[in-house]
Amino acid sequence: MISRPHSTRARSRPTWRLLTEVIALAALGASAVSGCGAPPAVGSGAQASSPAVRASLATSIETSAGSWATVPMGHLDQPLSTFWQLFFRPPGAALWSDRASALAVATNGGLVVATRLGKLLAVGIRPINRLDYSPLIVTSDARSWLPAGPIGALAYEPDALTIAAGGEAMALVSDGRVTRVLASPGGLASWREIATENELTTSQAGRACGLVSFTAVGYAAGQGLIGASCRRDGEVGIFAARRGAWRLVGPRLPQSLGSSSAEVLGLQATTRGLCALVGVTGRRSTEVVAACTSGNELKWRVSPALSLAGPQHVVSFGPAGNLGLYALISGSAHRDILAVLGEQDMSWRTLVSPPARTVVVVFGRTGRVDALAVDDTSFTDWLLAGGAAWRKVQELHVAIQFGSSG
């Protein structure tokens, strides 16, 4: 667990056993949640230094209860008319259902999800309008929901929330002026600040990479990690606390990318350990690489680069079952690219291009692969049949109350 020098001890908190046993919020019957504000448009949070590699919050995650996906719906080119949904499919089931209403909180600001060893799902709801905090809600069975927290306003990053195997957690929060990393020793109930963006920027480690901003939190080798974007060429901004100080522990980029700046898009837990998805921006090119580590030491293995041409960008990324992780790339005149990283040999392979308007891909525990596509209020599930073609298996209309966001 990471600690900050001279910080006070956290107050007592409920254990994860209590979290999974207590039934709190009853699931509501509505199929959409209205709100009073909106998140940035999907993909609009990019920094000027690396606009091609920013990803939205859209992602998928696996728990023992089933498969989950966070999906933006509505008029995606209009921030006030974008509404985030939480789709769920139990093991062995054919169809998805929308569980956004079970959160009982307006979801316009976006959803951030995390899991602890696949045994439970934690959902963080980004604030909207005048709210300055994020509710946290936990479920272990997709039926009973327990509030935990709340916490400061979660950052608009896919991996702004993470939970370690032992139950400790980290979160990336921002009030628009200061971005901070918070830690909880267990239960998502008691949080303390362990780092700020400003402090780390002026530290020796921050200066070594030319830290620009925090982008992710994660756990590997028994340590809490902070992912960041860096302006210094060739430096990957991954930091770990050692002996009361933050150290730069990121992987080395290949020599061919040594003159490019890097941004950690996410710190994705896998069945073998943890992988960092890194966007690398040079003067004339933009690439995406993955760096993975497992075991008790931070020994990184780096994949070959995926080159992004012209307007191509990362639509979403997430776990790819026993393989490693996936990256969905779109934006060119050609069809979308679904690249899957084989974590064992650190190589990319490309699957059949998913259907148009796919925003999330889900790799189920039984080997099932779903592409979830969105067109306004229409949700469509496409199943990869035999690894050769996509077959439509479900189409669902979500009742969205446009105009309810202010």
Which residue is it, tokens 């934690």? Answer: 122
pLDDT digits (tens, 9 = 90+) for 292-326: 999 888 999 999 999 988 788 899 999 999 889 99
Residues ≥6 apart with Cβ < 8 Å to 58 = 42, 69, 70, 71, 72, 315, 316, 359, 360
Tell me the range of 4-13, 29-38, 361-370 where mean pLDDT is highest: 361-370
Rounded distance between C-alpha atoms, residue 259 and residue 112, angstroms: 33
Amino acid at 243: R
What average pLDDT does the segment 187-195 reach? 93
Q: Where are the domains of the chain?
A: 33-39+49-397
Strands, E assignment, 144-294 = 146-152, 161-163, 169-174, 179-184, 192-196, 211-220, 223-230, 237-242, 245-248, 261-269, 274-281, 286-293
**Mean of the pLDDT values across residues 129-143?**
92
Averaged pLDDT of the chain: 85
Report the largest interatomic distance among the alpha carbons of the chain, rounded to a whole angstrom.
57
21 backbone dihedrals φ, ψ, rounded to 5°: -100, -30
Confidence (pLDDT) at 403: 67
Each residue of 19-31: pLDDT tens digit? 333 333 333 233 3
Q: Is 155 a residue whose pLDDT tops 60?
A: yes
Contact 238, 215 (CB under 8 A): no
pLDDT at residue 239 tops 60: yes
Q: How many CB atoms lie within 10 A of CB 203?
A: 17
Share of the chain above pLDDT 90, in %: 69
Q: What is the pTM of this model?
A: 0.86
| Residues with Cβ within 8 Å of residue 259, at least 6 apart in sequence | 233, 234, 282, 283
Q: By the 8 A CB rule, do 276 and 294 touch?
A: no
Q: Is 345:304 a contact under the CB 8 Å cutoff?
A: no
The answer to which of 19-28, 66-75, 98-107, 169-178 has the lowest mean pLDDT is 19-28
Q: What is the mean pLDDT of residues 111-129?
A: 93
**Residue 197 three-state SS:** helix
Q: Which fold has domain 33-39+49-397?
A: Methylamine Dehydrogenase; Chain H (2.130.10)
pLDDT of residue 404: 64
Q: What DSSP line would sit under 204-227, residue for residue?
A: HHHHHHTEEEEEEEEEETTEEEEE
Query: Is pLDDT at 50 greater than 60 in this prediction?
Result: no
pLDDT at residue 45 is higher than 60: no
> What is the side-by-side strand order in the sheet with 146-152?
111-115, 121-125, 133-139, 146-152
Q: Mean pLDDT highest for which of 10-19, 50-59, 229-238, 305-314?
A: 229-238
Give the range among 114-118, 124-128, 142-146, 242-246 with minimum mean pLDDT. 242-246
CA distance 242 to 172: 19
Q: Is the pLDDT of residue 110 over 70?
A: yes
Q: What is the pLDDT of residue 1?
A: 45
76 has pLDDT over 90: no
Who's near 344: CB < 8 A, 6+ residues apart?
Answer: 272, 324
335 — pLDDT class (breaks 50, 70, 90): confident
Confidence band of 93 (pLDDT split at 50, 70, 90): very high
Task: At 345, list the tokens.
Answer: 């040999």
